[in-house]
Structure 1
Amino acid sequence: MNKELLLECFTQLKGKAASGIDNITKDQYAIHLDANLDNLVERLHKMAYKPQPVLTHVQSFFAQKPQQVYFHRIKK
């Protein structure tokens, strides 16, 4: 993994994609892109990078509307 590869991946990201679980958008990450990529490469090489858990659509639904969740028994 190197900075050039990560830069290529970054440029291929959709501009209006949703932010990650850390709420950092592509535009926000780009403000300090060079430093962010250097830091990421360093953490990857040290094996110190710990990705945050992924917020799934289902988790997001339950977090936003817990009072509206109903469970129905499925008939066999």
Structure 2
Amino acid sequence: MAVVHPQKMARTAPRAVDIAGTAWPVFKLEALGLGLAALLVLALVTGSAQLAVLAAATVAALRWMVGLARG
């Protein structure tokens, strides 16, 4: 009789991505992507580059810190 262990078969997302021979944690890439998205949206909505850059940097830094705290 075969026994199946669902925990062992479940695939998990990779915790790091290899970019040019360097392992980047996924939360860092998510922070960069989120910051870029926030920058583009805020630049279009507000029309102010200064506000968009500051807010996007804050969003990216917060996501980065949350990733560090969890990881």
Quick check: TM above 0.5?
no
Structure that is richer in helix per residue: 2
Provide TM-score, normalisation by structure 2. Answer: 0.30
Q: TM-score, normalised by structure 1?
A: 0.29
> RCO higher in 1 or 2 (8 Å CA, sep ≥ 6)?
1
Q: Which structure shows the higher strand fraction?
A: 2
